[in-house]
Structure 1
Amino acid sequence: MPPTASAVPALETVPFALPYAGRQLIGERLAPATPRRELLILHGAGQARRSHHAGLRACLAADGVASTAFDFVGHGETGGALAGSSLASRVEQASQVAAMLPDGPLALLGSSMGAYVALRLLERVDCSHLALVVPGVYTPQAFEVPFGPAFSALLRQPSSWHDSDAWERLVAFRGHLLIVMAEQDEVIPAEIPQRLLDAAVNAASRTVHVVPAAPHRLSGFFSEQPVAADAFHAEMRRLLRREAV
């Protein structure tokens, strides 16, 4: 039975255009009247954009979670060229958006490249809940290299991610952790999520959710597999219902 009108929480959508390096970071905060958790969502590379998380955000809003998402420079409504941007730039963009949010502990969701951005952001924000979705990690040598041929050359080096600083950054994390893996991920080696899980020795809780038969690009898969999408949404609800420590 569908919920009655009175059972559906009132939601407020607040769009923003935040100046950054001569452009405007375009995004919005979707929030119920009295949110119990604040979530910042960081999308990945390629064709990724904030709209890919719309279904998750609506589900979480109904569960009392406010979410903020934006398009990184070179993506979606923010637009612009990727040339000149970098992992370091993405951390700065995310940091500036995080600074706009209400005070208090923040939950982070990083997808693919966004997972590494989230790990880098841990030293700048008070993060109580962390979701790493099909997480990519990178050698520190790539952090300030502009996206383009030089960046790609670093990534093509065999197992360049082995010396990533992601592991040590996660060791210090004391909140609740969720790692989401795609069973047929053709981009992220299975060793990466496992090593991230092993590194999180001080986390208050650690959970791994495997999406059966899924490729790396989960947004397209979820649009065609609503049962898998619902299972992922349920894991996110469970994560964000855990009490902050």
Structure 2
Amino acid sequence: MIMEYRPFVVSAKPEYFHEVSIPNVNPRDTVDISVAVPEGATAIIIFCYGGSLDFHRWRSLLLLQKFFKAGYGIAFFDYRGMNASSGSNIFFEHTGLHTRIIDTQYILVYLACHYPKLKQILWGHSMGGHIAACLSAEPLVSRVILSAPGAFSSVLVDRKIPFGENFRKILRQPGSWMDSESFEILKQSNVPLLLFTFEDDAIIPFEVTETYFMFAANKKKRHVIISGEHGGTFECYSASEDRREQLVEIACNWMSDDS
């Protein structure tokens, strides 16, 4: 996939976060990223969230800050069309799954330029799982983590279908996910895969995550089934905190295995 390069502009540096906005044609239409790298880190976790309109990058901080404390760099960002700084997300209908894949590529290149010594670990949740799988073949990516990953028809990307009624129409077609390019790309990339499935997930069918695991070719692949619902990882409940602790422990053990 060919990416058009765009410049990166540092907008702010609150506390230990490095804040960057990637401008686009519309000044408001930016990819905003927050980066934090602890001293001595050798890898950075790049988090791609899903398609919910009420989500933004800061909602992933409860999970990611645990990895920061464990010695990993963390990078989390808002796609074009999503805006955390306004207090509520702004949805632009000219964006779609295809623009989110490109946005994530921007992030990989930016991090490689500014943190060239850090291995990149790409984590995708829900729709972000599709994105992470599609970018697993990027030479910058050393490992992939998928949690409750979605899979979407290749038509949505190939035809650059924007979010909206046509997108939903294709999405709702039974079995439309089966021709997703994400499976074959993951197979060809041969990167180590950690896959999380949630027992009470009412959004992503179990057969989708099973298919991801089946296509993953690397011998270091691992599939872990955890109790809870689709988005519970990012809530402020005690059960969500327990889940975050579990995810971090499993992921850190898996990432530290270089055998």
TM-score normalized by structure 2? 0.83
State the SS of the aligned residue for 2:62.
helix
Letter of the structure 2 residue corresponding to residue 193 of structure 1: T
Match of 1:205 among 217, 220, 230: 220
What is the SS of the residue equivalent to 1:172? helix
Equivalent position of 1:100 in the other structure:
110
What does the per-residue CA deviation read over 1:89-128, in whole Å, with 9 as the maximum and x for residues that have no partner? 0011111121111225411000100111112222434211
Cα deviation, residue 34, structure 1 = 2.2
CA–CA separation in structure 1 for the residues paired with 2:219 and 2:56: 30
* RMSD of Structure 2 on Structure 1 (CA): 1.9
SS in 2 for 1:20: coil
In structure 1, C-alpha distance between the alignment counterparts of 2:45 and 2:143, rounded to whole Å = 9
Partner residue, 2:99: 89
1:55 aligns with 2:62: yes
Higher strand fraction (1 or 2): 1
CA distance in 2, matches of 1:150, 1:29: 35
Aligned residues: 232
Matched position secondary structure for 2:209: helix
Please tell me whether the aligned partners of residues 43 and 72 of structure 2 are also in contact (alpha carbons under 8 angstroms).
yes
2:203 aligned to which of 166, 175, 187: 187
User: Is the Cα–Cα contact under 8 Å of residues 182 and 218 in structure 1 kept in the other structure?
Assistant: no
Checking the alignment, whether the CA contact within 8 Å between 2:233 and 2:243 is kept in structure 1 is: no
What is the rounded CA distance, in whole Å, between the counterparts of 2:107 and 2:246 in structure 1? 29
Q: Name the counterpart of 2:81.
A: 74
CA distance in 2, matches of 1:131, 1:83: 28
Distance verdict in 2 for CA 1:232–1:131, change over 3 Å: same
Unpaired runs of 5+ residues, structure 1, are: 1-10
Which residue in the other structure is 1:119 paired with?
Answer: 133
- The residue that corresponds to 2:251 in the other structure is 236
1:27 aligns with 2:41: no
Query: What is the CA-CA distance between 1:186 and the residue it aligns to?
Result: 0.7
Partners in 2 of 1:96 and 1:66 — Cα distance? Answer: 18
Match among 127, 149, 156 for residue 172 of structure 2:
156
Alpha-carbon distance in structure 2 between the residues aligned to 1:21 and 1:223: 40
Q: What is the distance in 2 between the residues matched to 1:20 and 1:242?
A: 39
Looking at structure 2, the residues matched to 57 and 110 of structure 1 have their Cα atoms a distance apart, in angstroms, of 13
What SS does the corresponding residue of 1:128 show, helix, strand or coil? Answer: strand
SS of structure 2 residue aligned to 1:230:
helix
TM-score, structure 1 as length reference: 0.87
Residue 139 of structure 1 pairs with residue 153 of structure 2: yes
Structure 2 gap ranges (5+): 1-14
Q: Do 2:48 and 2:132's aligned partners in 1 also have CA atoms closer than 8 Å?
A: yes
11, 17, 32: which one pairs with 1:13? 17
Q: Deviations over 1:7-45 (max 9, x none)?
A: xxxx93211112134222222101102211022111111
* Equivalent residues of 2:137, 2:188 under 8 A apart: no
Give the C-alpha shift of residue 222 in structure 1.
6.5
